[in-house]
């Protein structure tokens, strides 16, 4: 049988060889082809991709809102595509509520919430959450403190009881606090070696001064000094009904959510909405350049920016359009120039920070030490241009299309719907804000983008922070403004006065268009 199979295969191969050797109609293959034959085998021309269709409006699903007797607002969005539920308790107090001598207290409290309750140890809590196949988290930012859980819809009631227990009855055990302090001190020690961390911390400290937004992290001194009693007092003051709201999205009904919220949070004190005491923000009359010396560094981390506007400002969307043209993505001017054209960096971007009070505008990149001056010059070329001229029609259209067409990716999962609803409540935006968002982007005119850029991007009054080997570039930065060189600890090492500008260099825009804002 094996021999027969081999014979059949051999015979088939021989037949194939004869066909190939003879070619069509039994003729031997020709050595050369005629021009007509070559033309006949040319690949077809590539057709351009079809143009995108008209964007469809995407709206936030209906939100059911109920307020408990103690003032806790309960927000529910039904999303039954998957049998999953996301629930997040948001306390309207974050880093802005930290005592001046204990920066990072809110974040430390958030970290301790998962380290055990008065009913369960840290290990027991972790085991119970894992048994449910759920995820539990707690965090804090400038405005809020968050406690959230994700679980299967069938485990919703149990998951909500755990969420309520973690938020309402933290143990703040001394042994767990000691472990947290060690972890935090180790983390901060590692962070001090990262130039990006140093640049961010320095930039916000210099930009905001005595304002609570100036602190982007805790400090070793604060970690060592914080006590259990201070954590308990902070938690008792801010975890109250009128200072929090609950967001639940998933395969669950509003009735189920309200019933679970009443059971878990109904005994909370009413309390009052916390109003933080904000300090004054620094006012700059000119450009300031601060170099944090980091001997031996082969890269320079660059942050350039200024105070811009609150998230709820009506000019937010035109500014986002202008920022998208400038540096919002890898298709924007900064990236295409500093990376693609000049090969100075792996990426250069800009962004507008979201804050209840005035948020920052920031342009940033990491570059090789030897091209630091060239990179700073390139940044200011684009910063000056974005406040001087309207974006060309094609750039404006691409920026608006990017912002508008990417928005559906922000509403495609329950977790993202939670984030959008939290944003509405945190910044006091109208309930229909996301329903009108894409239309407002598409309606933004070039004059509106220019108006926003001229008012909230300020290259002539920018704060420039550079972390790198100062000896290689610091003095030559005088061409951009006065330079101060400091050590990582903030000790002043050198100062250089600004070099007089050449006539016509870095033109400053005069006046501003009076365009209406949609």
All domains in the chain, ordered by first residue: 64-265 (3.30.830.10), 288-496 (3.30.830.10)
Q: How confident is the model at residue 500 (pLDDT cuts 50, 70, 90)?
A: confident
Mean pLDDT score of the chain, rounded to an integer? 90
User: In which residue are the tokens 């006012």 written?
Assistant: 283
Would you say 250 and 153 are in contact if contact means Cβ atoms under 8 Å apart? yes
- At 481 the three-state DSSP class reads coil
Q: How do beta strands 135-140 and 64-67 pair?
A: unpaired
Model pLDDT, residue 49: 74
Tokens of 191: 């962070």
**pLDDT score of 4 more than 70:** no
Contact 205, 214 (CB under 8 A): yes
d(CA 474, CA 466): 9
Q: What is the pLDDT of residue 347?
A: 97
Per residue in 301-355, pLDDT (tens digit) is 999 999 999 999 999 999 999 999 999 999 999 999 999 999 999 999 999 999 9
Question: Whose CA is closest to 281, among 214, 216, 199?
Answer: 214
Strand partners, 475: none
Whole-number pLDDT of residue 506:
54
Is the confidence at residue 509, as pLDDT, over 70?
no
- Mean pLDDT is lowest, of 218-232, 346-360, 498-512, for 498-512
Residue 464 has pLDDT above 90, yes or no: yes
Residue showing tokens 């938020």: 167
Q: What is the mean pLDDT of residues 422-431?
A: 96
What pLDDT is stored for residue 10 in this prediction?
41
What distance in Å separates the CA atoms of residue 189 and residue 215, rounded to the nearest whole number?
17
pLDDT band at 19 (very low <50, low <70, confident <90, very high): very low
pLDDT (0 to 100) of residue 21: 42
Q: Is the pLDDT of residue 512 over 50?
A: no
Closest CA to 384 of 450, 324, 316: 450
Spatial strand order of the sheet with 492-496 comes to: 345-352, 360-368, 299-307, 463-468, 288-293, 483-486, 492-496
SS3 track for 144-209: CEEEEEEEEHHHHHHHHHHHHHHHHCECCCHHHHHHHHHHHHHHHHHHCCCHHHHHHHHHHHHHHC
Average pLDDT over residues 173-193: 97
Cα–Cα distance measured from residue 483 to residue 467, given in angstroms and rounded to the nearest whole number: 13
Q: Give the pLDDT confidence score for residue 13 in this predicted structure.
A: 37
Q: What is the pLDDT of residues 340-377, one digit of tens each?
A: 999 999 999 999 999 999 999 999 999 999 999 999 99
| pLDDT of 511 over the 90 cut | no
pLDDT(450) > 50: yes
Find out whether 400 and 393 touch, Cβ atoms under 8 Å.
no
Q: What is the β-pairing status of strands 463-468 and 288-293? A: parallel
Per residue, the 3-state secondary structure of 378-394, as one string, reads HHHHHHHHHCCCCCCHH
Confidence of residue 476 (pLDDT cuts 50, 70, 90): very high
Which pLDDT does position 471 carry in this prediction? Answer: 97
Other Cβ atoms closer than 10 A to 401: 15
Provide, rounded to the nearest whole percent, the portion of the chain with pLDDT above 90.
Answer: 82
Q: How confident is the model at residue 505 (pLDDT cuts 50, 70, 90)?
A: low
pLDDT score of 44 more than 90:
no
State the pLDDT confidence band at 40, using cuts at 50, 70 and 90.
low
Tokens at residue 152, please?
């299967």
Sheet with 244-250: list strands edge to edge.
64-67, 73-78, 244-250, 84-91, 145-152, 135-140
Model pLDDT, residue 36? 55
Q: Per residue in 62-111, pLDDT tens? A: 999 999 999 999 999 999 999 999 999 999 999 999 998 999 999 999 99
Whether the CB-CB separation of 29 and 23 falls below 8 Å is answered with yes
pLDDT above 70 (res 55)? no
**Over 80: is that where the pLDDT of 50 sits?**
no
Q: Rounded to whole angstroms, what are the CA distances from 443 to 60, 180, 267, 401?
A: 20, 50, 47, 11
Q: What is the CA radius of gyration of the chain?
A: 30
Position 7 scores a pLDDT of 38
Residue 275 confidence class, pLDDT cut points 50, 70, 90: confident
Q: What is the pLDDT of residue 57?
A: 67
What CA–CA distance (Å, rounded) separates 449 from 316? 10
pTM of the shown model: 0.85
pLDDT digits (tens, 9 = 90+) for 103-161: 999 999 999 999 999 999 999 999 999 999 999 999 999 999 999 999 999 999 999 99
pLDDT at 263 over 90: yes
- Cα atoms found within 13 Å of the Cα of residue 281, Cβ hemisphere only: 15
């Amino acid at each position: 049988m094996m021999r027969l199979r081999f014979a059949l295969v051999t015979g088939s191969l021989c037949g194939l060889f004869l066909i190939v050797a003879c070619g069509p109609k039994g003729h031997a293959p020709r050595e050369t082809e005629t021009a007509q034959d070559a033309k006949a085998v040319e690949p077809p021309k590539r057709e351009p991709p079809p143009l995108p269709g008209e964007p469809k409006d995407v709206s936030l699903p209906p939100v059911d809102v109920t307020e408990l007797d103690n003032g806790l607002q309960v927000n529910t969005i039904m999303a039954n595509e998957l049998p999953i539920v996301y629930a997040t308790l948001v306390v309207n107090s974050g880093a802005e509520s930290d005592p001046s001598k204990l920066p990072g207290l809110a974040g430390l409290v958030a970290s301790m919430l998962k380290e055990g309750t008065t009913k369960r140890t840290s290990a027991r809590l972790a085991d119970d959450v894992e048994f449910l196949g759920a995820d539990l988290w707690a965090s804090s930012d400038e405005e809020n403190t968050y406690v959230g859980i994700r679980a299967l819809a069938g485990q919703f009631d149990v998951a909500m009881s755990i969420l309520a227990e973690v938020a309402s009855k933290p143990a703040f055990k001394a042994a767990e606090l000691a472990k947290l302090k060690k972890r935090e001190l180790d983390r901060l020690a590692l962070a001090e070696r990262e130039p990006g961390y140093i640049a961010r911390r320095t930039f916000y400290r210099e930009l905001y001064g005595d304002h609570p937004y100036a602190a982007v992290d805790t400090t070793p001194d604060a970690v060592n000094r914080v006590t259990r009693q201070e954590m308990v007092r902070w938690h008792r003051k801010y975890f109250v009904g009128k200072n929090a709201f609950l967001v639940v999205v998933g395969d669950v009904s509003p009735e189920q959510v309200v019933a679970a919220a009443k059971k878990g949070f109904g005994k909370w004190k009413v309390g009052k909405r916390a109003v933080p005491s904000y300090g004054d923000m620094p006012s700059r009359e000119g450009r300031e350049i601060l170099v944090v010396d980091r001997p031996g560094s082969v890269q320079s981390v660059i942050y350039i920016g200024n105070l811009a506007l609150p998230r709820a400002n009506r000019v937010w969307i035109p500014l986002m359009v202008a920022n998208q043209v400038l540096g919002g993505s890898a298709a924007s001017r900064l990236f295409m120039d500093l990376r693609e054209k000049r090969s100075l960096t792996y990426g250069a971007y800009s962004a507008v920070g979201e804050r209840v009070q005035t948020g920052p505008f920031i342009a940033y990149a990491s570059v090789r030490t030897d091209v630091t001056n060239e990179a700073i010059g390139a940044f200011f070329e684009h910063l000056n241009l974005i406040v001087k001229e309207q974006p060309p029609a094609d750039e404006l259209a691409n920026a608006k299309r990017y912002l508008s067409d990417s928005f559906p990716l922000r509403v495609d999962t329950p977790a993202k719907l939670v984030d959008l609803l939290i944003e509405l409540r945190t910044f006091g935006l109208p309930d229909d804000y996301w329903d009108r968002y894409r239309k407002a982007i598409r309606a933004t005119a070039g004059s509106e983008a220019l108006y926003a850029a001229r008012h909230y991007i300020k290259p002539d009054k920018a704060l420039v922070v550079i972390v790198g080997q100062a000896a290689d570039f610091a003095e030559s930065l005088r061409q951009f403004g006065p330079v101060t060189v400091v050590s990582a600890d903030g000790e002043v090492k050198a100062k250089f006065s600004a070099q007089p500008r050449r006539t016509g260099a870095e033109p400053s825009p005069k006046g501003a268009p009076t365009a209406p804002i949609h």
